[in-house]
Structure 1
Amino acid sequence: MILLTFNIVNIEAEAKKSLQISDEERLKVTEGNTKAILRILDIHDIKASFFVEISIAEKLQNLIKAISSKGHEIAFYNLNSDLQDIEEVKKNIQSLLEKQVRGIRQKDFKLAPENLKLLEFNYVSNIDHADLLFPFKRLKRDTEINEQNGLSIVPESISPYFQLPYNDFMFQILPMKYYKNMVFETLKNDDFVLIYINSWQFTDFKKYQFDVPYYRSLFSGKKMEDKLDALLSWINENDMATSRMKDYIF
């Protein structure tokens, strides 16, 4: 099973030189990038899970409704929000969608499973740093879903043959032929492949002057759209099963 997921986050990079990029402009970039992702998913009729960053979720209500209306899952991505903020945003978004938000994703700032369970989450998907050297620092991890305090803990996937993680950076830099081989080999060994991509990777860095490292701007923008389109075409051509996170876990 392929679990395709997207982190909906504002790009954190500063503007180049003396330029200023407001929070409103960053939000518009995020909306535009997410709409591009939705268009590609629609073309291939594939459903995914969207992890919306807590601090911007209520500013993206129309976008969140559009994502949900197309049959995709809405979950949360917590950068550094506390339990009280998460609870309030979860309550408001559930009221907006008239459905429960079951999942949450964490990276640097990780809340305890028992606290997340109190907020009535059903699963947590924790992720690690994805920089230039990270993929070669940690080559083994648990790839099976387990439970803690009644909460399903979903690990990142790693290719057993190529020994590379399925993080956002790997998707961006690896040639698609190599990436497809990774997915194919992993599915022969594991029950699922969890892929995650950040919305900011679809930014046109020639148009928007963010000061990002060169290796992070490579193959971004339209090239990321083309790569996602190629992956989804390959998935459908080979009749490979995909699922939203909440459906697979429950």
Structure 2
Amino acid sequence: MILLSFDIEEFDMPFEYGKELSFDEQIRISTTGSHIILDLLAKHKIKATFFSTATFAINAIEVINRIKNEGHELASHTYYHSKFEVADLLNSRLKLEELSGTQVSGFRMPRMMPVSNEEIEKAGYTYNSSINPTLLPGRYNNLKVSRTHFKIGNVLQLPASVSPFRIPLFWLSFHNFPFWYYKYLAKRTIKKDGYLNIYFHPWEFTDLTDKEKYGFPSYVSKNSGEQMTARMDNFMKWIIAQNYKCGTIHSFTESLSK
């Protein structure tokens, strides 16, 4: 099974590179990208999971309505993308449920940062997808964490997928690896683990090559914008051609408990 997920949020990543974007521009870019993603999912009849900050949801309710009406899953990406308090775990879930009228059972921490599993459980989540079980200097050092799902207390931990040799398969890999090689690694991982859990962002569907505006190095901006749209379209075609099933993370976690 392939679990596609998208972290929808205020587009604040340029701040990491010393650049500034107005809040309205952050929301506009992520809203535009979210609609591109939803159009692709509708075209290929694929269901996915959207981890949304409460802040983005408040300011992009039309995106939240599409997620709900088109049968996708809404999960929490906490309240704000660049600041965090423990209370945001519960408050973001409640706000997303209020805005969508649906139950929110999943959580992913922005930038896959560490978060207390005890607090996640107390906030009412049943699964947490906040771990990238690989080594990425300056970001992740999780080589001793299980590659595949496991439980802590009553919360299922669902790490992002990495290859059997822990080569990461997240969004940066999708942009930078030759497409044939990414599909090869994906296929090997599915064969080994029985599923693939990969994540992307709506702002990847914007042309990010303007270094003066965004400040991104080439490995971040490569294959962004229209190239990313075409790449994702082709990836979804490949998924269908391989006869892989796709579904929401919630449906996958429910199947594990049966």
Q: TM-score, normalising length from structure 2?
A: 0.85
Farther-moved stretch of structure 1 (86-95 vs 183-192): 86-95
Contact 1:33–1:202 at 8 Å: present in 2 too? yes
Aligned-pair identity in percent equals 26
Structure 1: which amino acid aligns with 2:88? D
Show the counterpart of 1:142. 146
Show the counterpart of 2:225. 221
Show the counterpart of 2:66. 66
Counterpart CA distance in 2 for 1:16 and 1:110 is: 22
How far does residue 102 in structure 1 lie from its aligned partner after superposition?
A: 0.6
How far does residue 199 in structure 1 lie from its aligned partner after superposition?
A: 1.8
Farther-moved stretch of structure 1 (178-187 vs 49-58): 49-58
Give the SS at the match of 1:71: coil
Counterpart CA distance in 1 for 2:140 and 2:23 is: 34
Structure 2: which amino acid aligns with 1:95? E
Counterpart CA distance in 2 for 1:139 and 1:21 is: 35
What stretches of structure 2 of length at least 5 have no aligned partner? none
**Cα 1:198–1:110 shift into 2, 3 Å:** same
Show the counterpart of 1:233. 237
How far does residue 140 in structure 1 lie from its aligned partner after superposition?
A: 6.7
How far does residue 11 in structure 1 lie from its aligned partner after superposition?
A: 3.6
**Cα 1:21–1:137 shift into 2, 3 Å:** closer
The answer to whether the aligner puts 1:90 opposite 2:93 as a matched pair is yes
Q: TM-score, normalising length from structure 1?
A: 0.88
**Cα 1:129–1:22 shift into 2, 3 Å:** farther
Correspondences of 1:1-250 after superposition (within 5 Å):
1-9=1-9, 10-14=11-15, 21-78=21-78, 79=81, 80-106=83-109, 107=111, 109-128=113-132, 141-160=145-164, 163-205=166-208, 209-250=213-254
Counterpart CA distance in 2 for 1:167 and 1:16 is: 20
How far does residue 15 in structure 1 lie from its aligned partner after superposition?
A: 11
Per-residue CA deviations over 1:185-222 (Å, capped at 9, x if unaligned) read: 11111121111112221112357932211221111111
Per-residue CA deviations over 1:197-248 (Å, capped at 9, x if unaligned) read: 1222111235793221122111111111111001100111121111110000
| Alignment size in residue pairs | 248
Contact 1:5–1:48 at 8 Å: present in 2 too? yes
Structure 2: which amino acid aligns with 1:31? T
Give the SS at the match of 1:3: strand
Per-residue CA deviations over 1:76-110 (Å, capped at 9, x if unaligned) read: 12344223233223212212222210100124543
Per-residue CA deviations over 1:143-165 (Å, capped at 9, x if unaligned) read: 2211112111111211126x411
Counterpart CA distance in 2 for 1:3 and 1:215 is: 24
Contact 1:131–1:169 at 8 Å: present in 2 too? no
What stretches of structure 1 of length at least 5 have no aligned partner? none
**Cα 1:130–1:173 shift into 2, 3 Å:** farther
Contact 1:4–1:48 at 8 Å: present in 2 too? yes
Contact 2:68–2:100 at 8 Å: present in 1 too? yes
**Cα 1:71–1:31 shift into 2, 3 Å:** same
